[in-house]
Structure 1
Amino acid sequence: MGFYSANTPEQKRVKQLTGDINIHDMFKNECNTRGIPIYNAYNIQKRLIHEVEMEQIQGVDAVDDRMMELLDERSKNKVTHRYVDFVSREDSASKGVIPKMPEQEADKLPPKDQIRIPPRARDGQTFQTDNELPEIEMLKKIMLQNKKIINQNKIIIDLLKKQGGEDD
């Protein structure tokens, strides 16, 4: 069994561009080059994560574009290169994400009335329902249930007699 990651490709891309809990050195250097203080770098990271979680950003390209918009908004110095081009996209691809199941037609399954439970594997016996039992088997079943009820009642009566005898 492999490890399953519930992160979307967008969340993986944000983590790759900015870092997870701590900011990557590459992102710190880019912010320093642009004249962005470190607290604003954290704000950019939080803003991207928030927008991805709220599903305002769809797709890895949109994450890259939004990242560049935020960097350009906050920057004090002009920079000619695009930061997102330095970070490879291969690692942010959704390797660990399980693909969605294709939609299946409900017509392929038989109705619930026709589904029969198979016999038990260890002895190969099938059990009849109450409607299929012969009359003698049904009476035996009822007698067994009545015996169980009578035995339970005897135990209860004995306990009540013991409690009643202690009170006297």
Structure 2
Amino acid sequence: MGFYSANTPEQKRVKKLTGDINISDMFKKECQTRGIAIYNAYNIQKRLIHEVEQEQLVGIEQVDERLMELLDERGKVEVPYRYVDLISNEDSASRGVIPPMPKNESLPPKDQIRIPPRARDGQTFPNDSELPEREMLIKIMNQNKKIINQNKIIMEQLRKLGEKDD
């Protein structure tokens, strides 16, 4: 089984474009090309993360557009290409996110859902009320044997303790 990531597609896209905690090398190079200082690159990254967390940006396209706006605002050098077009959208999509349950399908009532006790072979075991009388007596006898054996062990321990006191 894989693990479930709580990151939204927008958060994944911001991390893909700018890096995680540290700024990615590609984003650093882009900022240097545009004449943006490194502290402003961190500010852009923080700004994007904040806007995504506040749900101001919904959708990968809005994240891309906002990043390009911030880069154009802070940039001192004009660049003929778009930075977001250089990075693919594949990994930022909702891979690993559990899809929402379809609304048109309804589950059967709980009393109709039956899960077998041993799912690997589907074998079911009879309840105490379903056991024949002979098997019920054997089961009770085995339980009594276990109790008797436990009592014998306790009696031996008590005898040992009683001998030490004398």
TM-score, normalised by the number of residues in structure 2: 0.69
Q: 1:83-128 deviations in whole A, cap 9, x for unaligned?
A: 446534445552744561543421288624x55546985xx97632
CA RMSD of aligned residues (A): 3.7
Alignment coverage as a number of residue pairs: 160
Q: Mapping of 1:99-114 within 5 angstroms?
A: 100=99, 102-103=101-102, 104-107=105-108, 111-112=112-113
1:27 equivalenced with 2:48 (yes/no): no
1:49 equivalenced with 2:49 (yes/no): yes
Contact (CA 8 Å) 1:68, 1:83: kept in 2 or not? Answer: yes
Larger radius of gyration: 1
Gap change, CA 1:47 and 1:111, over 3 Å in 2: same
Q: Mapping of 1:109-120 within 5 angstroms?
A: 111-112=112-113, 115-117=115-117
Which segments of 5 or more consecutive residues in structure 1 lack a partner in the other structure?
A: none
Q: 1:33-82 deviations in whole A, cap 9, x for unaligned?
A: xxx3221111111221233244332111211222233335445x484857
- What SS does structure 1 have at the residue aligned with 2:108? helix
Which amino acid in the other structure matches residue 111 of structure 1?
Q
Q: Mapping of 1:86-165 within 5 angstroms?
A: 86-91=85-90, 93-94=92-93, 96-97=95-96, 100=99, 102-103=101-102, 104-107=105-108, 111-112=112-113, 115-117=115-117, 121=121, 127-165=125-163
Q: Partners of 1:119 and 1:69 in 2: how far apart?
A: 55
Which segments of 5 or more consecutive residues in structure 2 lack a partner in the other structure?
A: none
Q: Partners of 1:119 and 1:66 in 2: how far apart?
A: 51
User: Residue in 2 aligned with 1:63?
Assistant: 63
Q: How many angstroms does 1:147 deviate by?
A: 1.8
